Amino acid sequence: MSALLSVSDAHIAYGKVEAVRSVSLEVGDNEIVTIIGANGAGKTTLLNAIMGILQLKGRVVFAGEDIVRLEIEDRVAAGLSLVPEHRELFATMSVEDNLQLGAFRIARAVAARSFERVYALFPRLKERRRQLAGTLSGGEQQMLAMGRALMGAPKLLMLDEPSLGLAPIIVADIFRTIGELRAAGVSVLLVEQNAQAALQIADRAYVMELGEFILDGSAKDIAANARVAASYLGFTHEGESAV
């Protein structure tokens, strides 16, 4: 049985500098997969290339179709969605407009249901729906970015550092919601520096170092791995609030 997303032998370069080398990864249906690793390991680069923002050499098969040549917009239409590190919200537009535009590619009747689903997932957004996106708090902006991505009813949601710069109580909230997505039939590919939180909700994990995967396996095994515990889990225990 083929995976929902399958990346094989991916190389990504900025000019002559290779940032990601020979990376292969799979995400199955209804699966939460996380990529953990230190700052600068190439996690964000990899996600951006899977989305089509950066050029990638290799194969990217999504839902049975090779998408490596497709534009970002066509990947969105195929059911792939990215919540980028910087969220890229429409700051001068209302929360509701942001969400409505998230459903730009899908029919109006389906969008109405998406609204209900997203508001149920993030009641806070419903309260603030008339407010401008730029005036929201960091946590609310992250919720809005995730809500906007979910409005398009994606098959796979890719999240880039959703906990970045947020207070611990809000991080817990966001991670709880990511866990709930599985019930809604959305697969998740999660990139996180907060390895501990990520490993708790994920099914499987990849560990990235200097542009390569050095380990992969079930989230439990990875969390129990001595090297991972020393390099990532220990670090996140002490420096959780550090960015």
Give yes or no for residue 14 binding another protein (CB under 8 A): no
Of 20-49, binders to another protein (CB under 8 A) are: none
**Residue choice 8, 72, 113, 135 for contact with another protein (CB under 8 A):** 72
Stretch that binds another protein, among 38-46, 54-62, 88-96, 216-224 (CB under 8 A): 88-96
Sign of torsion over alpha carbons 102, 108, 114, 120: positive
The two tokens of residue 240 are: 């959780």
Choose between 141 and 236: whose C-beta lies nearer to another protein. Answer: 141
Q: How far apart are CA 81 and CA 75, in angstroms?
A: 8
Choose between 43 and 148: whose C-beta lies nearer to another protein. Answer: 148
Q: How far apart are CA 107 and CA 229, in angstroms?
A: 46
Strands 80-83 and 32-37: unpaired
Give yes or no for residue 53 binding another protein (CB under 8 A): yes
Please check whether residue 24 is in contact with residue 179, taking contact to mean a CB–CB distance below 8 angstroms: no
First-to-last alpha carbon distance for the chain, in angstroms, is 39
Q: How far apart are CA 1 and CA 236, in angstroms?
A: 36
| Residue 13 CB, nearest approach to another protein (Å) | 17
**Residue choice 97, 173, 209, 240 for contact with another protein (CB under 8 A):** 97
Of 192-211, binders to another protein (CB under 8 A) are: none
| DSSP letters for 52-75 | TSS--EEEEEETTEE-TTS-HHHH
Stretch that binds another protein, among 28-36, 75-83, 177-185, 229-237 (CB under 8 A): 75-83
Give yes or no for residue 162 binding another protein (CB under 8 A): no
**Residue choice 56, 149, 153, 201 for contact with another protein (CB under 8 A):** 149
Q: How far apart are CA 214 and CA 210, in angstroms?
A: 9
Q: How far apart are CA 97 and CA 123, in angstroms?
A: 16
- The site map against another protein for 99-138 (x = CB under 8 A) is -xxx-xx---------------------------------
Q: By the criterion CB under 8 A, which residues form the site for another protein?
A: 51, 53, 69, 71-73, 76-77, 81-82, 84, 88-93, 97, 100-102, 104-105, 148-149, 151-152
